């Protein structure tokens, strides 16, 4: 317990560990048996178990929050497929309102980069916050998350994939949250930066998915009372652009 109180925040929470004791008589570390009590000074170490932790990726509206990252006017001419990700982002936010899912929005240095684009309706957003940090994980965002009971999953989209999206996702999984990145609502100035960021994030256990998969997973059943409205959102979407082919 003392070790964990001192070094617990440095431990990768996605790994499991075994506690070992240094045995003087054998001059090596041995596993501590279950229920073992330490009654005198000794050498202990934590050894990570190299196992693959599977992320199931189940989504339910009651345990999900949407993060919309820096979809701002000044990025319009620079970000590849920006018009497409605006359309998809707006569809996701409409879906969030239908399903009662909280939405957190950030704007990167809005004084210089402008506000969120007018096409995206932020009505009902839980939090719209300016920032200078690249990650969305700010004290105000953490406080907002703490106010939402049972949050397990974050659906994340916006720009840029290799900067603010990547840093946000890594901080969120470091806090034990499951992250779903919406590939057709996430882009960068460079498709190479975007591609390598998505590959890196997928290797860490973050789920790279699509807007349609997210929305249908959240309703989960044709008999869901909001299914028809979600289905109409999907049907109203524009034909697929070239963005998903560049994941």
Domain boundaries, the chain: 1-48, 61-234
The pLDDT, as a whole number, for residue 7 is: 58
The pLDDT, as a whole number, for residue 191 is: 96
Pairing of strands 28-31, 16-23: antiparallel
The closest alpha carbon to 103, from 154, 143, 159, 59, belongs to 154
Residues 150-192 have pLDDT tens digits of: 999 999 999 999 999 999 999 999 898 999 999 999 999 999 9
The pLDDT, as a whole number, for residue 18 is: 72
The pLDDT, as a whole number, for residue 52 is: 52
Q: Using an 8 Å Cβ cutoff, are 116 and 122 in contact?
A: yes
The closest alpha carbon to 178, from 148, 208, 199, 149, belongs to 208
List the structure tokens of 224.
């869901």
The closest alpha carbon to 182, from 162, 218, 157, belongs to 157
The pLDDT, as a whole number, for residue 201 is: 95
The pLDDT, as a whole number, for residue 96 is: 98
Q: What's the rounded Cα separation, in Å, for the pair 108 and 164?
A: 9
pLDDT under 70 in the chain at which residues? 1-17, 33-35, 48-55, 238-247
Which residues are catalytic, by number? 70, 131, 164
The pLDDT, as a whole number, for residue 3 is: 61
Overall fold of domain 61-234: Rossmann fold (3.40.50)
Q: Using an 8 Å Cβ cutoff, are 141 and 127 in contact?
A: yes
22: part of which helix (H) or strand (E)?
Answer: strand 16-23
The pLDDT, as a whole number, for residue 244 is: 62
Q: What's the rounded Cα separation, in Å, for the pair 97 and 124?
A: 7
The pLDDT, as a whole number, for residue 9 is: 56
């Amino acid at each position: 317990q003392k070790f964990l109180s001192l070094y617990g925040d440095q431990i990768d929470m996605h790994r499991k560990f075994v506690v070992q004791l240094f045995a003087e008589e054998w001059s090596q570390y041995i596993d501590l048996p279950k229920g073992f009590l330490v009654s005198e000074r000794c050498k202990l170490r934590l050894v990570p178990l190299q196992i693959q932790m599977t992320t199931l990726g189940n989504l339910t509206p009651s345990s999900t929050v949407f993060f919309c990252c820096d979809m701002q006017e000044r990025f319009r001419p620079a970000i590849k497929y920006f018009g497409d990700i605006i359309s998809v982002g707006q569809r996701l936010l409409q879906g969030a309102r239908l399903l009662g899912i909280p939405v957190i929005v950030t704007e990167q240095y809005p004084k210089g980069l402008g506000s969120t684009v007018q096409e995206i309706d932020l009505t009902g957003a839980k939090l719209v916050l300016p920032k200078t940090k690249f990650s969305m994980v700010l004290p105000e965002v953490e406080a907002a998350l703490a106010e939402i009971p049972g949050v397990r999953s974050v659906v994340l989209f916006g720009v840029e994939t290799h900067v603010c999206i990547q840093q946000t996702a890594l901080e969120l999984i470091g806090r034990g949250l499951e992250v779903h990145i919406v590939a057709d609502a996430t882009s960068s100035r460079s498709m190479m930066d975007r591609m390598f960021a998505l590959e890196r994030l997928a290797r860490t256990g973050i789920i790279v998915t699509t807007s349609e998969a997210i929305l249908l997973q959240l309703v989960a059943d044709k008999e869901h009372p909001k299914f028809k409205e979600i289905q109409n959102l999907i049907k109203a979407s524009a034909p697929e652009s070239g963005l998903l082919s560049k994941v």
